[in-house]
Structure 1
Amino acid sequence: MDSGGEVNESAAEQIERNRAQARQNLRRLASEQPQVAGPTTVRDARSAVKDTPSALPKDKRLGDYIEFDLTRLRNSKGGFLVEENEEDPVTAMENLRKEREREKQRLRDQMEPGMSLDPTTRPVCEKCSSPDVLYDPFLRVFNVRVCRACERACPETYSLLTKTEVKEDYLLTDAELADGELLPHLLKKNPHKSTYSNMMLFLRKQVEEYAFSATKWGSADGLDAEYARRHAEKSRKRVRKFQQGLAKLRKRTIRDNIWQQRQDAEHTHQWIPSGTMHVCQSCGQRVEVEEF
C-alpha cells in the first residue's frame, strides 16, 4: 500500500513540474515576440481634420456631370404653389398698396344710392317698364335703364365687350376708347394678374351706336367695307414683300452661279436705257433699274 501511495505522489509532483515548465515556456515566448502598440483611447480631433482632404477628386471615368449645391435648394411644392418670379419686399408692398387703391376706387364707384319712393321719379326699364332696374353697372356706368330679365333676354344689346374685342370687331382707336364721355367704360380687376391695369368693359349697344353712326363708319355695311379694305391692304403688302424677297433671291442666285460668272467674264454688256429697264445690245439681257 505504501509503495502505491508513493507512486501517486511522485506522479502528481511530475504533473505540477510539467505545468510550471509550460508556464515558463509561455512567458518566455511572449517576451521574445515584438511589442505591438495597441489603440489609444485618447483621440485628437485636430489631427483628424488635418488628415481629411478638402474635396474629393473628380473621377474622369464618370464623364461630365453637374455638381449641385444642396444648401441652396428649396422645396417647390411640386411646382404648383411657388410664384414664377419672386419679388423683393419693397416691390411687393408697393404692388399691394396699388391693388388696395384700385379696390377702393371700385368700391366707391359701386356704391348704390337709395331707392326713390316717388313713382314719377323712379327709373324704369326702357324695354318692359319694370321698376327693378339694375344699378350696377348699367345705370351707374352706362346710364342705361334695363332690368335683369331684359338684360338676360337681349345679350346682343346689353352684353359687355372688352377693349380688345371692340378694337378688332368695330375698328375703333385707343383715343376713342379712352374718351369716357364718348364711350363710357367699366373698370374691373384684371383676371390675369392683380398688379396689371384694370380691365375696360364697354356696352355693346353704345359701341354699335357710335360705330354705325355717320361720325365713324355710317352703317354695318360701311364697317364691313372698311374691314375688307384693310384685309386687302394687308394681303397686298404681304404679296409685295414676298415678291421683293423672291427677286432678291433670284438676283443672288444668278450672281453666285458659276456658269453665269463665266458668261459674265467672257461677255461685256452694252446697256441701252429703255424706260425703267436697261437692255444689253448684244445678248438682250434686261435689268430693272431704280432711280432715286
Structure 2
Amino acid sequence: MEESKNQKMLTEAQKARIERNRVKAMHLRESKVAISKETENGGKMIKVDGSKYVDTCGGFLINEHDLETEEEEKAAKIIKLAEDEAEDLPITYLKCIECEEEYADSYLSKHFEYSCCDKCKDLDEKHQLITKTDARNEFLLKDCDFDKREPPLKFISRKNPHKSTWAEMKLYLKLQVKARAMEVHGSEEKLREEIKLREEKREIAKVKKYNTKLNELRKTVRSTLYDKTHKSHVHEYGPSTYNKDTDEYTHVCVSCGFIETYEEM
C-alpha cells in the first residue's frame, strides 16, 4: 500500500527515468560488466560501451559527464554566492612622510604604525631597530615608559640570537624610542646632562668599591703577618748624657733607638 501510494506521487517523467535506469541495470547485470572502481561518495564506477556510469546503489545510474557537470554547477553556485555576500571594503591610503606619496600598506606601517612606504624604508640607518635593553641604557628609560605611557610603543618579537631557549627579544623603532625619551627628559640637552650625571655617580661608586676592597685586603694581610706570641717591647737604655743648657739627662735604647729625656732630682 505504501509503495503504491509513493508511485502515485511521482510524475510521469520521474517514472520514465526510473524505468530507463532499471532497464540499464538489468542489462548490465545480464552482460556481467566488471566494476572498475569506487567513487568518493561510496558509489560504483562502471563502464558500458565505452561510456562511464556511477551506480549510486539506490537504483539509479548517473552518467559520469552529467555528474561532473552537476559538480561544476554546484561549485559555481557556491562561488557566486560567496561573491554576492562579500562586502567591498574601502582601501585607506596613507601618505609617506619621506616621499609624500600615497601607499596602501608597508612594513613600518604594519608593525610600528609609522607612515613610511617600503620604497623609503631604511632599516640600516634612518629606521634602525633597537632592543629594549639597549634602549633603556642609551635613552635612560624605564619599562613603564615603553608599556604604560600612552600610547604604548609598538615592537616586534624575534628569537634571541645568543641562545634559542632564552626569552624572545623585543625590537623597537629607534626613532619612536628617541621621541619617547624627549617626552620623559624634556630635551636632548637634559638627556645628555642626566647621562653625564649618572656616569659620574657610576665612577664614584667604582672608586668607593675599589677602596673598600683595598682596605679589606690590607686587613687580611695584616692579620696574617701579626704574631700573636709577640710580647710588648722593654727598652734597654745605654749610658746617660747630661745637657748643661737644659739641665736634662738623655739616654738611648740600644735595641730600638728610642731617646728619652729626663731630669734628676
- TM-score normalised by the shorter chain: which range applies? 0.3 to 0.5
Name the TM-score, length of structure 2 as normaliser: 0.46
Name the TM-score, length of structure 1 as normaliser: 0.42
Which protein is richer in strand relative to its size?
A: 2
